[in-house]
Amino acid sequence: MKNILLIIIALTVGFGAFIVFSNKSTNTPSSTNQPTATQSQQTTPAAMNEASQTTSVILGDAGFEPKDITIKAGTKVVWVNKSGKAATVNSDDHPTHSLYPFLNLGEFPSSSSLEVVFDKAGKYTYHNHLNASDTGTVTVE
């Protein structure tokens, strides 16, 4: 009986190890040349200041402010919605949002935020799809 129990335990451990190691080899992330896109809701101002390379853009009644920013590669841009209504951050051109797909962050409610780390130099234009006259540009050096 003791031998059967040891065999069952050994098989269970062996099968578990097989599952763990086989998942690691198939889930390897692929490399991309586009900036990293992350979305977070309810980012606080204190959290925004923790990163050494963070730039904030406020969306208010007058649109994105500042409208145009220039940053270094690796900088995180945080859009904070203070407009009192839902808004979006979407890549140009409107309405297809096809120029920079990583920048299609979608809708975010008032008093929340979205963020993207720009890893690659370039000029990225965006807008609020719900009010396409609200536009902005991120220039990455």
63/35: higher pLDDT: 63
Classify residue 72 by burial, with Cβ atoms within 10 Å: 0-12, 13-18, 19+. Answer: exposed
Domain range list for the chain: 36-140
Question: 89: which strand partners?
Answer: 106
The predicted pLDDT at position 113 comes to 97
- Taken in order 50, 38, 113, 72, the sign of the CA dihedral is positive
Long-range contacts of 47-56 (CB under 8 A, 24+ apart): 48/78, 48/80, 48/113, 51/76, 54/78, 56/80
pLDDT band at 88 (very low <50, low <70, confident <90, very high): very high
Tell me the per-residue pLDDT of 48-87, one tens digit each, with 9 for 90 and over. 444 469 999 999 999 999 999 999 999 999 999 999 999 9
Domain 36-140 class in CATH: mainly beta
